[in-house]
Amino acid sequence: MRNHYSITEFLTTAYSLVLTKLFYKKARLIRRPFYIRGKSGLQFDEGLTTGHGCRYDLIGNKSKTLYIGKNCEMGDNVHIVAYEKVQIGDNCLMASKIFISDTNHGDYSNRSEDSSPTSVPKDRPLITKPVSIGSNVWIGENVCVLLGVTIGHGSIIGANSVVNRDIPDNCIAVGSPAKVIKSYNFVSKRWEKISSENITNKQPL
């Protein structure tokens, strides 16, 4: 699809392109405004494209916590929090207003003493668990990906979904919380409604 820019958009894109080549040489285009805290924590491969208003909150102690693969494209206002590790594979496509975080204020897992509701939320201890998003993943508008989640290669996350559990390879998941509704059948070459047989029979990309 070819883009048809207004004069204003053309000028702002040209400005963003100049800054991209100065400060993020491997990227294709980092549109402005772009916010990053802890830049030393970012590692990305060639071809990264972002929309307007993307924000990365990283720990910034020179350890890499956000890894983005080749040729990834993100829409406007994608917010990623990576204090331990968020890894995104190659050729991922993300719509706008997506939130991805490996961090939570407080512990509510019942695995230890949970955070008390009488404590101030911002003062609760930060709990981190790595997030992994495979290659060729397509994430729709307004999706929230929570800490500790793995999204498999080739999977699709429907708009407005909240992903709080692992999604296998080559599946479509929707809802809040997100549930798998289809998986790709490499024999019929179709996305088929989910069954236990399909979900356990993973195929390589």
Q: Which CATH number is 170's domain given?
A: 2.160.10.10
Which pLDDT does position 112 carry in this prediction?
A: 78
34 in any annotated domain: yes
Residues of the chain with pLDDT under 50: 198, 200-205
Positions marked catalytic:
105
Which pLDDT does position 200 carry in this prediction?
A: 46
Residue 28 structure tokens: 């294709």
**Domain count within the chain:** 1
H-helix or E-strand containing 183? strand 179-185
1 in any annotated domain: no
Which pLDDT does position 89 carry in this prediction?
A: 98
Which pLDDT does position 78 carry in this prediction?
A: 98
Q: Which of 79, 179, 51, 66 is nearest to 128 (CA)?
A: 66
Model confidence, pTM: 0.91
List the domain range (segments joined by +) for residue 36.
Answer: 27-200
Rounded to a whole number of angstroms, the CA Rg of the chain reads: 18
115 in any annotated domain: yes
41 in any annotated domain: yes
Which pLDDT does position 111 carry in this prediction?
A: 78
89 in any annotated domain: yes
21 in any annotated domain: no
Which pLDDT does position 35 carry in this prediction?
A: 97
Which pLDDT does position 48 carry in this prediction?
A: 98
